[in-house]
Chains A and B, each alone.
Chain A
């Protein structure tokens, strides 16, 4: 539509509707996130030592600098990106650092916050690098297959390394340990999105009809199932139940979104139920977790004291509505994994139900921004990828939080951005980068004749 210039002194026609980039909102929210995190850091110091940590100002400045840099890069390279993504990620990551620092204070023998801070900074930088380098997400479609192969290799690697806590999911090189399953999940989402974007109509519409069921052609569905089976097979060998569940949920959700066949969901739930019962029955490691889930206080009745789940429930209960205050809880009673899988229990104990619900709200917001990005995009690959990445976050939060809240059996996953774990925090920042990149495209105003 051609817009004639309204006044003589206006060299260019004004757009009919002013498009808000949201960058100022993002800046404001990012600084607010930094302020909340610094406040939490000070609270830990005040509650434990009676005074603010001496490096609070420095810490705040560094975090603020990182936030400003990230904001600057987004303003420069992804002007129309969703303004909530960066602040939410900053806030979640910051809360995680504060809680890990707080737990460090109670475990003088294990200081992990500095390392986590390093990984977080690296995650932000990688996020920015992806935003700068990846100018259009559709490029990823080309590397989907090779990506899947790399992911599989990454997953297989830990088999050659010693198990930690019964699971072979880490690669340890010197002081560093990586959890390749974390990186693999992005590559798998990219593969599913790419494959389903191409084959969704065939999958949805063709196939042999058996009674009321229309089965998709094996030729088409085969590769998806094969790749997924390979992944889950490897994970099963490594007894990484959480990631298996995550990948399974991801596949079911993406198949449904792509094909709109609710049969996938029915089939998925059925398979999940059969799989869960079988594994829960046969695998002693899993079986004990199912037993703990059904009867979290059973070990107390049996005279063996409170197990991890019971301790976790005690921590949540102790937090009550308002929480004990950062630094004033006793969630270390949970024992090992207090900084990773069970970090939510500390949040529940020290920030209370109010803090926990606020946290869940942040995740819900983040997920909903991912889903809207997907819906707003026009290319099927981007749509599936954005929805897939959002679903990844939601499922992961559900699996780990549901585990520590005794809603489902404990499987062992990290709470995105919050829990200790370098691979995890870096991966999640890359997911943010992809969502920023895609939302920029989704929200960018259509080119008009004025250009």
Chain B
């Protein structure tokens, strides 16, 4: 009797069974809670984890939108038959590598392929017709297209001109800032490592190991001492600030010109420069270091910095939309350093893009336009998503000063170091530069040329401005006029003929 009382107190199977049921229910509730946690609250983090291949699979499940030069796609997509359905192809990869960058399943996206990736891959919200419905139906938009401002003729002329030398070309339409050519040599084929196979990896590794750095975009991402081409900026600063008012009047520059605070004279490459009181025009035509150094120092650090910055120097975020490396003009220097910097030496360093902006600003009557590489973005059906509008970067100098600078540059080509850039039937303005390089000038000098050209007698703004740099050449006579000017000429000719 006591026993059954005890049993009664202890509950029967009805009660314990119910509790066991409750326990089972709790187990399943725990699963539901954990599933909710993962699928709702942690889903985003898991989706974005780099080791999660789903986004990549989705990304490569459809052909990527194209990058176009004119009306011609310079990219394509090919089915792979692997885990990733499509990979990028480049019909003429090395010609446009500096424009497109690469889109690789393993190594990611760079340059235009990178900055416009969301549009090209179809994830850009602007491609969606009905954003909410697309979200619910999980519809993937086809990739949009990127129309570049590049001129096929100018790009081909630039690449042909550079040939197998190490160098770069940037060409700009001065009135709009449209980039007409962007070339860097040696180049590479971005299609060689677009997929994810071992041959893609081998191609990538070989490019990485190449001492010539074929994947470096020298037109945008590499700075060089601009040498004498920087004298255009110095002349602009001198004219704009009244250091010089008449380009043909004596400047009062001494000869020899001893760097302020030192006993070192600023030497010239040609003895014709070694006389006092040369005019600005003569100094530019002969590329006299002493005169321009003197004028830079007289104009002063602040005004030199300000003028350099008007043309794009010291801008860490020059996005075209691919970001250009920062071109440098020191903001804190003594007078002798200002003098050296004013002839493009000391710490002065510029990308070919910024030097093209210098030439373009002069050609565009003093207004520097923001350089732009993208003409328009469209959906896959061709309807516009975004159209490029020219925008002013800076009003660098007044039209009057710009006119004087144009005259100086024309004289350089007509009578001076830039004769190799002369084009029949065209007015060409230019400036050469030969920048020393290496410890004790042991390296091959950088050969520069910046210029613009327009049909003779035209009152309009020149349709093309170019900067060319040759970083390494086998030529014996390494000068801007000898090596770089012919390339600039062929690019300008290509644009003028196209025009």
Contact = CB atoms under 8 A, between A and B. Distances in A.
B7 A317 contact: no
B225 to A, nearest CB: 41
A273 interface: no
B17 A387 contact: yes
Interface string B1-26: 00100110011111111111101110
Task: Tell me which of A253, A305, A352 has the highest count of chain B C-beta atoms within 10 A of its own C-beta.
Answer: A253
Given A313-B46, A407-B34, A306 B7 contact: no
A321 B138 CA distance: 12
B38 interface: yes
Given A256-B16, A383-B17, A402 B51 contact: no
A401 interface: yes
Given A317-B43, A367-B24, A330 B38 contact: no
B40 A321 contact: yes
B42 interface: yes
A352 B136 CA distance: 13
Contacts of A316: 35, 38-39, 43, 46
A318 B43 contact: yes
B13 A306 contact: no
Given A314-B46, A325-B138, A260 B15 contact: yes
B460 interface: no
Nearest to A407: B34
A260 B53 contact: no
A391 B40 contact: no
B51 A300 contact: yes
Interface in A275-329: 297, 300, 305-306, 310, 313-314, 316-322, 324-325, 328
Contacts of B13: 257-258, 374-375, 380, 383-384, 387
A394 B30 CA distance: 12
Contacts of A189: none
Contact of A360 (B35, B47, B49, B138): B35
A367 B39 contact: no
B54 interface: yes
Contacts of A257: 13, 16-17, 19-20
Contacts of B57: 330
B28 A397 contact: yes
Contact of A371 (B21, B40, B50): B21
A353 interface: yes
A205 B49 contact: no
B27 interface: yes
A324 B17 contact: no
A166 to B, nearest CB: 24
20 contacts: A257-B13, A260-B15, A310-B49, A313-B46, A316-B35, A316-B39, A317-B44, A328-B138, A333-B54, A348-B39, A357-B36, A363-B28, A367-B28, A371-B21, A387-B13, A387-B20, A398-B27, A405-B31, A406-B34, A407-B34
Given A260-B12, A318-B52, A352-B39, 5 more contacts: A320-B40, A357-B32, A387-B21, A390-B21, A397-B31
